[in-house]
Amino acid sequence: MVSRLTRLLPPPRTAVQPQPWEETRATYGTKRPHDFQDFVDTYGYGTLDDVLSVIAPGNGARRSPIPP
């Protein structure tokens, strides 16, 4: 799915650092979905056009910063 998205929304010019997914799995006891991992490894964390926020696991945020 991410490969299709990159045709519409090019990834950042600066390469995104791959995430330590095994460390995240060990910490939280669960794997993140493959499409989420692919998205984060391609685009990173942050906000997309002030519409979509992707938050890193364990960044201290217990709630979404998106208002209800």
> Tell me, what's the pLDDT at 58?
65
Tell me the two tokens of residue 13: 């010019």
Query: Does the pLDDT of residue 64 top 50, yes or no?
Result: no
Is residue 31 within 8 A of residue 25, CB to CB? The reply is yes
> Tell me, what's the pLDDT at 56?
80
Pairwise pLDDT comparison (39 vs 59), residue with the higher score: 39
Average pLDDT over residues 13-36: 88
Spell 47-57 as b/e; 16+ CB within 10 A means b: eeeeeeeeeeb
Provide the whole-model pTM.
Answer: 0.74
In which residue are the tokens 């201290």 written? 60
What residue type is 24 in one-letter code?
A: T
User: Percent of the chain scored above 90 by pLDDT?
Assistant: 19
What does the alpha-carbon distance between residue 2 and residue 36 come to, in Å, rounded to a whole number?
9
